[in-house]
């Protein structure tokens, strides 16, 4: 069954319809402390949510743990959830990832609806069926592919977002533009992230989600083409894990940072145009800054990259581009390539 993605203009009626289409004897809502405060209050009196039980978890990626997952399972169990219950994940990517995993494993799988409230979750985490938690210090180490019954995207939630979280989500849109086409990339590069126009962003979001949907439909379990979506993520996840032990950064910032060394490698290895590379890097540096890594951090970053799920054998595997929209998956790189690319990231 293809996951239903609704670009919602009338959230209340769209949610009621989505709930009505899901079998449910009880409704549970998963929120983190932030979405409980900023989002739940806006919808808690909806008739379609009458009697819903709220499960609250901690905020940020540091809560995406086995301990939190156990708390969600226990809350479902104690709340009388059955195989016929429904879980609604109201929140950012951490909530939709962890909530989707909890729903897909509880009683061998119950229905769930994703209501992403951050740009990152709208454009990335909530769509495409990836669920999971962090484990052993590694991002998304445990999880399953499982589609939500429905994903409801409504840009009104973005009014609850701070600037940093908006930029975090935008990084995934930038990645989608790079793997899609020149026009989409150009529109994204010209957008004023310092003073974002939410109406325009809503149109761009719709295009961005379609890029991911098209790819996921052709390759749901990441055997080939879906690896295109990993652009920026091999370096990005390593930088994110590195930062987690020091000063944690948002996932989208890690992806933005990961795009810099990967576009550099694309320029020297697969012919990506250097002018496009420099334009993209300038945009990222302007809105995302940089990370204070030194060459002393290279061994740790390389070690983290060897743990990446996309690797085969003992090789570091990345997705590169021959040009905008010209995807080159399964590109092996050496430790020297990594060091050279990180030099560019620090000094380029």
- pLDDT (tens digit, 9 = 90+) per residue, 242-265? 998 889 899 899 999 999 999 999
Nearest-angstrom CA–CA distance, 61 and 134: 8
pLDDT at residue 1 tops 80: no
- What band does 227 get if pLDDT is binned at 50, 70 and 90? confident
- What band does 203 get if pLDDT is binned at 50, 70 and 90? confident
What is the strand order of the sheet 86-91 is part of?
4-7, 150-153, 111-116, 86-91, 27-32, 53-57
Please give the full DSSP string across 190-217, using - where no structure is assigned.
Answer: HS-TTS--HHHHHHHHHHHHHHHHHHHH
- What band does 212 get if pLDDT is binned at 50, 70 and 90? confident
Nearest-angstrom CA–CA distance, 209 and 194: 22
Same domain as 203, residue 229: yes
Same domain as 205, residue 139: no
pLDDT at residue 125 tops 70: no
**End-of-domain residue from the set 107, 133, 160:** 160
Same domain as 260, residue 222: yes
Nearest-angstrom CA–CA distance, 15 and 27: 13
pLDDT value, residue 2? 61
Same domain as 191, residue 117: no
- What band does 199 get if pLDDT is binned at 50, 70 and 90? confident
pLDDT at residue 282 tops 70: yes
Type and span of the H or E element at 4: strand 4-7
pLDDT value, residue 33? 94
Q: pLDDT: is 130 or 87 the higher one? A: 87
Residues in the chain: 348
Nearest-angstrom CA–CA distance, 257 and 263: 10
> What is the CATH number for 277?
1.20.1090.10
pLDDT value, residue 309? 64
Same domain as 141, residue 84: yes
pLDDT at residue 45 tops 60: yes
As for how many domains the chain has, the answer is: 2
Mean pLDDT computed over 59-63: 84
Same domain as 95, residue 182: no
pLDDT digits (tens, 9 = 90+) for 62-94: 889 999 999 999 999 999 999 999 999 999 889
> Do the Cβ atoms of 230 and 212 come closer than 8 Å?
no
Mean pLDDT computed over 151-180: 91
> What is the CATH number for 155?
3.40.50.1970
- What band does 311 get if pLDDT is binned at 50, 70 and 90? low
Same domain as 191, residue 89: no
Same domain as 154, residue 52: yes
The residue to which tokens 């997952």 are assigned: 69
pLDDT value, residue 341? 96
Nearest-angstrom CA–CA distance, 129 and 101: 10
**Range with top average pLDDT, 156-165, 295-304, 312-321:** 295-304
Report the percent of the chain where pLDDT is more than 70: 97
Structure-token pair, residue 118? 């951050």
Same domain as 320, residue 279: yes
Please give the full DSSP string across 41-90, using - where no structure is assigned.
Answer: HHHTT-GGGTTPEEEEE--SGGG-SHHHHHHHHHHHHHTT--TT-EEEEE
pLDDT at residue 183 tops 90: yes
**End-of-domain residue from the set 160, 176, 206:** 160
pLDDT value, residue 339? 96
Same domain as 153, residue 180: no
Mean pLDDT computed over 290-307: 93
Mean pLDDT computed over 112-133: 86
Mean pLDDT computed over 37-65: 92
Same domain as 130, residue 94: yes
Range of the domain at 48: 4-160
Same domain as 313, residue 246: yes
Mean pLDDT computed over 155-164: 87
**End-of-domain residue from the set 160, 192, 214:** 160
């Amino acid at each position: 069954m293809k996951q239903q993605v609704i670009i919602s203009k009338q959230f209340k009626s769209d949610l009621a319809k989505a709930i009505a289409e899901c079998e449910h004897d009880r409704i549970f809502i998963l929120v983190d402390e932030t979405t409980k405060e900023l989002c739940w209050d806006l919808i808690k009196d909806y008739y379609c949510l009458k009697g819903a039980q709220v499960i609250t978890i901690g905020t940020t990626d540091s809560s995406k743990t086995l301990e939190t997952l156990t708390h969600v399972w226990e809350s479902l169990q104690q709340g009388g959830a059955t195989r016929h219950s429904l879980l609604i994940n109201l929140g950012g990517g951490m909530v939709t990832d962890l909530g989707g995993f909890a729903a897909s494993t509880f009683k061998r799988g119950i229905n769930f609806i994703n209501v992403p409230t951050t740009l990152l979750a709208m454009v990335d985490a909530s769509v495409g069926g990836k669920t999971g938690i962090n484990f052993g210090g590694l991002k998304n180490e445990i999880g399953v592919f499982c589609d939500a019954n429905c994903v409801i995207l409504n840009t009104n939630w973005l009014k609850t977002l701070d600037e940093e979280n908006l930029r975090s989500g935008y990084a995934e849109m930038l990645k989608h533009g790079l793997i899609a086409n020149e026009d989409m990339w150009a529109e994204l590069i010209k957008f004023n992230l310092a003073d974002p126009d939410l109406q325009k962003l809503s149109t761009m979001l719709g295009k961005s989600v379609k890029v991911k949907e098209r790819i996921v439909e052709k390759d749901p379990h990441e055997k080939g083409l879906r690896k295109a979506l990993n652009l920026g993520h091999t370096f990005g996840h390593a930088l994110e894990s590195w930062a987690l032990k020091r000063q944690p950064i948002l996932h989208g910032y890690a992806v933005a940072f990961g795009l810099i060394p990967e576009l550099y490698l694309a320029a020297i290895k697969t012919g990506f145009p250097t002018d496009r590379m420099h334009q993209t890097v300038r945009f990222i540096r302007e809105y995302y800054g940089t990370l204070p890594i030194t060459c002393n951090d290279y061994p740790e970053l390389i070690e983290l990259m060897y743990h990446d799920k996309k690797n085969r054998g003992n090789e570091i595997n990345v997705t590169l581009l021959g040009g905008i929209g010209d995807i080159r998956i399964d590109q092996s790189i050496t430790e020297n390539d990594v060091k050279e690319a990180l030099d560019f990231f620090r000094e380029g």
